[in-house]
Amino acid sequence: MLIAVLGPDGSGKTTLARSLAENNDQIDYVYLGHNLEQRVYRWGDDFIKSKWSMAWPIKPFRRFLITLNDWLEYMAARGNIRVSDRYIIDALIGTRLFRKKMRFYYNIILRFFPKPDLVILLDGDGKKIWERKQELTPEIIDRYISSYKEYLTRNGVRFRTINTIENSLEQSNKIALEYILEH
C-alpha cells in the first residue's frame, strides 16, 4: 500500500511522513519528490544525478528514468505499507499553477501511472504555513491546497485532509495512522 503525503511547502509533509515511519515498525518511508539531493533512485541513481544528464538530448531519457523509478517504488509498496513524502501529483500541480511546459508530460504520465492507494493531504491557513517556510506566498499556498483537492476529487483518489496548523505533529500522526488502519 502506498500512502502519499501531499501539501504545499511548509505544511509538514516530510515531518509527518518520517514520523509515521519512525513510530510504526510496519511503515516504511520513501521520498518521491523532485529534489535530487534527497532522492535515492533504485535504478540509474548516478546517471540521474549527473550534470550531463541535464543536457537537452539526454534530458527526456533522464525524465523517463525518474518516472520509471517512481513506478518501481509504487510496485515495491505492494504487500507493504510505504508512506511517501510527495508523489508525481505534486509535479503536475506545480506545473499547472506556474504554467510550465512539463504539465503536458505529467498529464500523460498520470493517466497511466498508478494512483496512490491513499493520500494524506496537509492543509491549513496559507499565512500560517507561509510563516513556517517562506518559499511560496500565502495566496499560492491556498491555490496549491485547492488544486490538490480538485485533482484528488476529480480523479477518485481516496484522501484525508489534516490541518497541520490546528493539529500538533502528535495529533496529525494519530489522525493519519487511524486513516491508514481504516483502509
pLDDT exceeds 80 at position 101: no
Percent of the chain residues past pLDDT 70, beyond the cut: 100
Assign 166 a pLDDT band (cuts: 50, 70, 90).
Answer: very high
Q: Please check whether residue 52 lies inside any domain of the structure.
A: no
- Return d(Cα 2, Cα 20) in angstroms, integer: 13
> Would you state the pLDDT for residue 116?
92
Provide the pLDDT for residue 91.
Answer: 86
Residue 72 forms part of a structural domain: no
127 lies in some domain: yes
**Structural domain of 129:** 2-41+81-182
**pLDDT surpassing 90 at residue 158:** yes
Give the domain CATH number at 130: 3.40.50.300
Question: Would 68 be classed as within a structural domain?
Answer: no
**Whole-angstrom distance, CA of residue 114 vs CA of residue 18:** 23
Number of domains within the chain: 1
Q: In the prediction, which pLDDT does 75 show?
A: 86
- What is the per-residue pLDDT for 61? 86
Q: What is the pLDDT of residues 18-68, one digit of tens each?
A: 999 999 999 999 988 877 777 888 878 888 888 877 787 888 888 888 888
Give a yes or no: residue 172 inside a domain.
yes
Reply yes or no on whether the pLDDT at 163 is more than 90.
yes
Task: Read off the C-alpha cell for 128.
Answer: 500560517
User: What does the DSSP 8-state code read for residue 114?
Assistant: P
- Taking CA atoms, 100 is separated from 97, 130, 142, 153, in Å, by 8, 23, 19, 23
Question: What's the pLDDT band for 98 if we cut at 50, 70, 90?
Answer: confident
pLDDT at res. 157: 95
Residue 101 placed within a domain: yes
3-state DSSP call for residue 39?
A: coil
Does any domain span residue 46?
no
- Report the predicted TM-score, pTM, of the whole model to 2 decimal places: 0.88
Q: Does residue 173 sit within a domain?
A: yes
* Least confident segment among 104-108, 111-115, 149-153: 104-108
